[in-house]
Amino acid sequence: MADLTVPCAATVAGAQVPGHVTLTSDRLRWRPDAASATGEKSAALVSITAHQRNKAGAAKPSLRLVLGGDPPGAKAAAKAKAAKPKPPAMVLTFALESDRDALSDELKSRLAVVAARRAPASNLTSLARASDSAATLAARAALLKANPELAALHATLVKKGKGATLGKTTGEGGAADDDGTEDDGIRGAVTEEQFWAEREHLFDAAVAKKGAAQVAGVSNALDGDVKGTRDGRTDTVSCALSNEKMHRIFAERPAVRRAFLDNVPSKMTEREFWTRFLRSEYFKAARAGAPPQGEEEAADLALFSGSAKGAPPAAAKKTAANKSLAKAVNLVADADDDLRGGAAGGFGVFRDGGREPPPPSSEAAVAAARASAGGVKAAAAKYAAREVLANLNHHAEVVLRGRPSQPVTDARSAALAAAAQEDAGGAAGLCSIGGGGGDDDDGDVVVVLDDLREPEEVKRRTLTLRDESAYFRGAAAAAGKAAGTNANAQLAAAAAAATSGGKKRKAGGGGGDDDEYEPSGFDVEALKRVARFFKVEHKIDWGERADEDETATGAGGKKGAKKIKSEPAEGTTATAPTPTPTTTNKKPRELGPLVDPAQARKQLDAIAEENRRAKKNKGWTRAEALASGAFYTLVPIRPLTDGVPPAVDAEIKADAATAAELLKHFWSARPFATAAAWDRAYRVNAALGVLYDRMETRKKTLTPAGRHASAGRLSPLIAAMDAAFSFYDEEKRTRAGSYAAFEREREARGGASAPIELS
Amino acid sequence: MSRSRCHVPPKPLPLSFSRGSLPSDGSSVLVILFETNPLLWSGLGGRLDGKESFDETLRQLLVYMIGFLSLHEQNRVVIIALHSNVEHCMYAIPTLASGENDLTNTGSKSDLCAQVISNLATLAMRMRSDFDLSTKSNMPLTTVISMALCCVNRARVYKPHCSPRILCILGSQDSSGQYFSGMNAIFSAKNSGVRIDACLLGYTDSFFLQQAAQITGGSYCMLQQGEKALYYLLSDLPGSESIRAKLQSPRKFCSEYQATCFCHEVNLQVGFVCSVCLTIFCERCRKCLACFADYT
């Protein structure tokens, strides 16, 4: 890479000093023109994180180089760190705008090379993959597993284990992929991320579903920060409430939620409600358990503790909620726990130590205390302990409920979301714990983990053979046939069977299933079957013919076999085929139903599709088409199979799908203005070329009819590929600068001989 | 020898058939050419390869035939069996063979089926004794088309207002040796206003029958794996011309009609056609190389 030198001025000690800047492969250096002047500047290209040029037509063309800042992708993170000092920058001023642009363009291309060296593509790919969540990766895998066509396309286009690296050579000879398959010149044309970028909509729902199954957690703090802060100079207490904090308050304190839903906005505004609530909380903490002072404070305390309503939730509902609470959550719950507990003692008494409850005692200790002289005091202590434990239970349940599924945008939606969570059963349903409720023993709590579950036994059907010997006879016949018997003898024997009154011939040689029948030939037995179907068998005189038939086949089959002449194959001895009467266990074959509804529907659909296609092609009625004389020159009626063997048909379909996918990536790479876009287009274009050649080669192997059918099918795709090739060549001319930069970059990577990972 | 452009495909016949036919009274005469070649039905040579069985196809054909006869009381059917060689070609139902009395459609359909099956059984027994595998098989398509045209001609004597057509249910490959006579038969059919419909059973197209169907305005179809002939016959080949004129047949052809010269087998845009046998040449010659017609 040749050095570039451009005259420009730089700021040295606050003054503009004329000089010149030299750009080498790894460094940018500015020197003043005057030999005696000082202030030489130098910066390694790796340290340049951005370069900006002022607007075209500015009075002083300038270029600003940011040194040592955050990489371009980390702008958001840099903004978040407001305290971080600005990175150093170098500003160069040019006399001519063309000099500035030349330096800027060259610097841009060399920075791209430097960046690519520092972060190999494989690392970039792995980083990109690392950005995908586990849910996304699982959804992709599930999608590939469920869609074999997409899996085949993915396997064809995306190279496993490696990213599609720019100009990466694979050495001599055919390269085998990581999975052992031979590289065919197309694999690697599309990266994993590019492949999935077009298909995010296919697994968005799956990712969302998987994400929905995972409950977003909330903080385990016992109470929200509702106390507020004082600035110390005024008598004002400030408290910030967010939607999340309001939801937490409503979830932890059902009484507050009820008060909000009952009073806002009918009796007070939302701001007034929250002011009263926070003031009440502040005073409650300040009083440290002392009784409220003043009616207003007492009214607020009663409002937010729920006692003002005087109508607590129904006991049955509370009991049901208590029973539905999981044992893993409930510490010492029993049936009547919540009937007396709850918010009666008031929330927020614990954190200030105003009414520190005694440690929970066992039932035996409580009973002993109650039985003793000081039983009343002990019972009160027990009551306080139960109150603490009830609140802990409730808090644990709120934590396990997690965040609400519906969006919380304001106080009302927060209250409704909290109520909905509570009604939904909360933790019992979410924590996947079986049982739930206080009726069962602790041993019933079973956490079901999928990976610990034993795989279900595969249901298999029992194979029963009516005649096992027939199976082995069939297998032996197949083996004999595979060993290679006299082909001519087989031919003659089959012909004898075809003309000898319906002796059945084993078509495939495998298996001895009694229910299998071979296709019938033109013989009397077949005619008898048809006669039986039409119930005219009695109208036909079969006697003489049947006798002849039996004479021909029964008497050693000589009458029928006499006329069979078999030509000896080369190198083999001509042996007269002797049709041996075969013993068979087959039942008399009868014709099946005349019409198969499913097949008839399929054929009717095919006809309808052809009709639709013909109409769409020309928009003609039959009369119009006939009158024009061109009706029969439309698209062939069965372009999918006419003259094209099934195997080749499958290959054509696969190649067409691959080409369509590559074309999508080709056009999505537009405009080819950057080296990355050129890289992508170059790789896809090369793969399209390989596909094009493969299609042409395959077409030559087909019969004329097959070629005609194949050409008709692929003509739109070929036209699209030609358009892509033309566009690529056109872009190479119109964007010669960026293409040249891409070429230089590719050469720098040694990719001239092997532009993509080809075999 | 006349000079003409050879690449223009011939126009199909208009719906109202041209020469020699009077306005149709709605009745039809259907001549069915049904291949009974043992080599085809036994699956040897991979032509059918178990795709269709003889009894199944015959059953479907009989059902279609009954349906066709039921559509109009004046409808008539002739079945001609094609065997491996010309001498084995025979009538399966000689209903038109002996005069006007045979042109009845008043009998029971079961009797008709019995007659067809009985005649085919006779044919099968005769073929079994005479069948020779070593003899090269040439399907006598041209012969049976000519025979069918004779049947149609005879039918027109008694029923001048009927609309005749020929239905070929075949599976064997084309025989190049019958090209000239076959094309003459096809043009004869066109001039007689006889449609030729084709239903192919095998895996290979018959370009000869494609041309026959296209030239005469008929329909052509090659059954795919799993398809039944009855569906095609009922959906694409309705009984009368009036119905057929109102339906759009989706079946089209894929034959290439680019002409090649007889002398060098070179594709031509403009060539010379023998006025006697229609052989195409790339250059003017004094004598036809195919039919030896002398133009001097």
Question: Domains in chain A, start-ordered, CATH in brackets?
Answer: 4-118 (2.30.29.30), 229-444 (no CATH), 463-603 (no CATH)
Helix axes B141-158, B179-192, angle to 10 degrees: 20
Residue B194: predicted pLDDT: 92
Across A503-517, A600-614, B69-83, B204-218, least confident range:
A503-517
The number of C-beta contacts closer than 8 angstroms across A and B is 217
Cross-chain CB nearest to A495 (options B42, B252, B256): B42
The pLDDT-based confidence of B189 (bands split at 50, 70, 90) is very high
- A628 shares contact with chain B (CB less than 8 Å): no
Please state the φ and ψ torsions of residue A409, each to the nearest 5 degrees: -115, -20
Handedness of CA A83, A85, A87, A93 (dihedral sign): positive
Domain spans of chain B?
Answer: 25-246
* Residues of chain B with C-beta less than 8 angstroms from the C-beta of A533: 59
Please state the φ and ψ torsions of residue B200, each to the nearest 5 degrees: -90, 135
Residue B43: predicted pLDDT: 57
CA atoms within 13 A on the CB side of A319: 7
* Residues of chain B with C-beta less than 8 angstroms from the C-beta of A634: 252
Cross-chain CB nearest to B55 (options A530, A600, A613): A530
DSSP code of residue A752 = S
Give dist(CA A331, CA A386) in Å, integer. Answer: 10
Average pLDDT over residues A215-235: 71
- The answer to whether the Cβ–Cβ distance between B44 and A542 falls below 8 Å is no
DSSP code of residue A286 = H
Residue A509: predicted pLDDT: 37
| A588, two tokens | 């008399």
Q: Is B159:B74 a contact under the CB 8 Å cutoff?
A: yes
Helix axes A375-401, A363-371, angle to 10 degrees: 150
Across A213-222, A284-293, A401-410, A495-504, least confident range:
A495-504
The pLDDT-based confidence of A630 (bands split at 50, 70, 90) is very low
Average pLDDT over residues A458-471: 62
Work out the number of other CB atoms within 10 angstroms of the CB of residue A620.
Answer: 17
DSSP code of residue A92 = E
- The answer to whether the Cβ–Cβ distance between A540 and B114 falls below 8 Å is yes
- The answer to whether the Cβ–Cβ distance between B41 and A522 falls below 8 Å is yes
> What angle (nearest 5°) sits at the alpha carbon of residue A654, between those of residues A205 and A162?
65
- A601 shares contact with chain B (CB less than 8 Å): no
Among residues A38, A30, A133, A178, which one has the least CA distance to residue A91?
A30
Between the alpha carbon of residue B13 and those of residues B149, B192, B195, the distances in Å are 17, 11, 9
ipTM of the complex: 0.78
* Residues of chain B with C-beta less than 8 angstroms from the C-beta of A615: 248
Give dist(CA A137, CA A564) in Å, integer. Answer: 67
How close A497 gets to chain B, by Cα (Å)? 8
As a whole number, the mean pLDDT across chain B is 74
Work out the number of other CB atoms within 10 angstroms of the CB of residue B158.
Answer: 15
As a whole number, the mean pLDDT across chain A is 67
- The answer to whether the Cβ–Cβ distance between A563 and B251 falls below 8 Å is no
The dotted CATH code for B25-246 is: 3.40.50.410
Residue A708: predicted pLDDT: 79
To the nearest 10°, the Cα dihedral for A486, A489, A491, A495?
Answer: -170
Please state the φ and ψ torsions of residue A41, each to the nearest 5 degrees: -120, 145
Largest Cα–Cα separation, chain A: 129
Q: Which of A490, A491, A499, A535 to mutate to test the interface with B (most CBs of B within 10 A)?
A: A499
- The answer to whether the Cβ–Cβ distance between A642 and B205 falls below 8 Å is yes
What pTM value is reported for the model? Answer: 0.38
Q: Is B136:B191 a contact under the CB 8 Å cutoff?
A: no
Please state the φ and ψ torsions of residue B219, each to the nearest 5 degrees: -120, 150
Strand bridging mode A62-67 / A48-53? antiparallel
* Residues of chain A with C-beta less than 8 angstroms from the C-beta of B12: 626, 629, 631-632
Helix axes A675-700, A736-748, angle to 10 degrees: 90
DSSP string of A430-453, one letter each residue: HTTBSS-STTS-GGG--B--GGGS
Cross-chain CB nearest to A632 (options B12, B127, B224): B12
The pLDDT-based confidence of B176 (bands split at 50, 70, 90) is confident
| B165, two tokens | 């057509």
Residue A332: predicted pLDDT: 56
- The answer to whether the Cβ–Cβ distance between B43 and A549 falls below 8 Å is no
Across A445-459, B190-204, B244-258, least confident range:
A445-459
How close B116 gets to chain A, by Cα (Å)? 10
Q: Would you call the peptide bond into A593 cis, given omega within 30 degrees of 0 as the criterion?
A: no
How close A125 gets to chain B, by Cα (Å)? 47
> What angle (nearest 5°) sits at the alpha carbon of residue A237, between those of residues A232 and A243?
135
* Most confident range, picked from A334-348, B72-86, B180-194, B238-252: B180-194
Beta strands in A552-628 (DSSP E): none
* Residues of chain B with C-beta less than 8 angstroms from the C-beta of A545: 121-122, 125
* Residues of chain B with C-beta less than 8 angstroms from the C-beta of A595: 228, 230
**Continuous H helices in A313-467:** 315-324, 337-340, 363-371, 375-401, 411-423, 427-430
Residues, chain B, total?
296
DSSP SS3 for B31: strand
Residue B20: predicted pLDDT: 46
